Amino acid sequence: MSKFTAVGAFMYAGGFTQGLKRYFDTKEVWQDDNYGYKTFHLNFPNAPLHTFSTDDISDAPRADLLYANPPCAIFSMSSARVGGGRADWRTDARAGCWTRTISLVDEVRPKIVAIESVQGAMTRGVEFIQSLTDQMMEMGYAVTWLKVNANKHGVAQNRPRFFFVAHKVVIPWTKPTAKQVVVADVLKGLKVEAAGKNGHFAKWYKKIPQGAVAIKVWNETHDAETAERHKSGRIIGRPAFTIRRIALAKRAPVLLHNAIHPTENRYVNLSESKAIMGFPQGFKTAETGNAAVVLLTRGVCPPVGTWLGRNFHRALEADIKQRKQFDMVDFS
């Protein structure tokens, strides 16, 4: 099978590229800085980094696919909660990652453009996404708003995501057929590195049962009215709402970081995070510990990328011209 060519943008660790590599050769990647690129380069040494601030996008090569994984915080409810509701594409400079990706289209001239984000892009960011839809259609592309969930792709995690897909060829979408798995399936027999230090792992986390959210257990066992507070008013010792103990018999929630191991009193480590995210154990990371976990969780689950790559490859092989139209496809 011959591969098609691709150019990437905002790659983080490279989960999207890992998934696509069976079908596409990535020529180069574009970002605002080198965040995550050390890990990306360890796994994809033939894809050099270019930065929007120092390099001329007119030098970007032609490719069949332009794909991107820009920061999703501007649309994310999680980020809004952590930031006190302040995450907003209207005021967040990270929205420019989307527009800079689109700026590559005139140079790369891809037949397919695919940009990943959270599904909140279709609700909290609908005005922004609609403006990009109008822009791409004016450039002669059809646009599909695609909803997927990693749990339909053999990933032991509920991870609903949105893909903005602009295309000049017909894409014959195929329904995901991978066997659905739970945490126990991917951790069984896994050889993992030593757990190491638990960092800020609080002793009372031992009380958290499988599947429970840490903050709910804290609220049941502590008195918020009498708890010690920072000058800002934030309660000292109360955990972030994202911390929970994952359950063996279920799929994990969206893996961010500091997920608590199902049966051991520690956080899930790097090898376990790879398994839950759908990364191969041989995937290399320049970072270690929690920094590596965070980097992996900010990208696309590789099996989702593989499914997309298969659909894109089939569309490019058939090379049937797509009439300009808008569509919504839901495989979540």
CA atoms within 13 A on the CB side of 208: 29
Q: What is the bridge-based pairing of β-strands 160-167 and 142-149? A: antiparallel
Structure tokens at 143: 């646009």
Q: Are 276 and 252 in contact (CB under 8 A)?
A: yes
Q: Given a cut of 90, is residue 22 above it in pLDDT? A: yes
Is residue 258 very low, low, confident or very high in pLDDT (cuts 50, 70, 90)?
confident
Calculate mean pLDDT across residues 159-177: 97
Calculate mean pLDDT across residues 122-150: 96
pLDDT of residue 2: 94
Q: Given a cut of 80, is residue 95 above it in pLDDT? A: yes
| Range 4-180+300-331: architecture per CATH | 3-Layer(aba) Sandwich (3.40)
Q: Given a cut of 90, is residue 231 above it in pLDDT? A: no
CA atoms within 13 A on the CB side of 26: 29
Structure tokens at 108: 């790369």
Residue type, 301: C
Q: Which residue has the tokens 């009439």?
A: 323
Is residue 230 very low, low, confident or very high in pLDDT (cuts 50, 70, 90)?
confident
Structure tokens at 215: 């903050």
Is residue 193 very low, low, confident or very high in pLDDT (cuts 50, 70, 90)?
low
Q: Are 119 and 71 in contact (CB under 8 A)?
A: no
Query: CB under 8 Å to 236, separation ≥6 — which residues?
Result: 227, 228, 229, 230
Compare 196 and 70 and report the one with higher pLDDT. 70
pLDDT of residue 202: 80
Q: Given a cut of 60, is residue 147 above it in pLDDT? A: yes
Is residue 104 very low, low, confident or very high in pLDDT (cuts 50, 70, 90)?
very high
Q: Given a cut of 60, is residue 131 above it in pLDDT? A: yes
CA atoms within 13 A on the CB side of 137: 16
Q: Residue ranges per domain, the chain?
A: 4-180+300-331
Q: Are 251 and 216 in contact (CB under 8 A)?
A: no
Calculate mean pLDDT across residues 167-173: 97
161-165, 254-258, 261-265: the lowest-pLDDT one: 254-258
pLDDT of residue 81: 45
62-71, 87-96, 144-153, 221-230: the lowest-pLDDT one: 87-96
Compare 247 and 71 and report the one with higher pLDDT. 247
pLDDT digits (tens, 9 = 90+) for 234-257: 888 888 888 899 999 999 999 877
Structure tokens at 158: 């509920």
pLDDT of residue 34: 95
Burial 180-199 (b: 16+ CB within 10 A, else e): ebbbeebbeeeebeeeeeee
Is residue 83 very low, low, confident or very high in pLDDT (cuts 50, 70, 90)?
very low
Mean of the per-residue pLDDT values for the chain?
Answer: 91
3-state DSSP percent of the chain in helix, strand and coil, to 5 = 35, 20, 50
pTM as predicted: 0.92
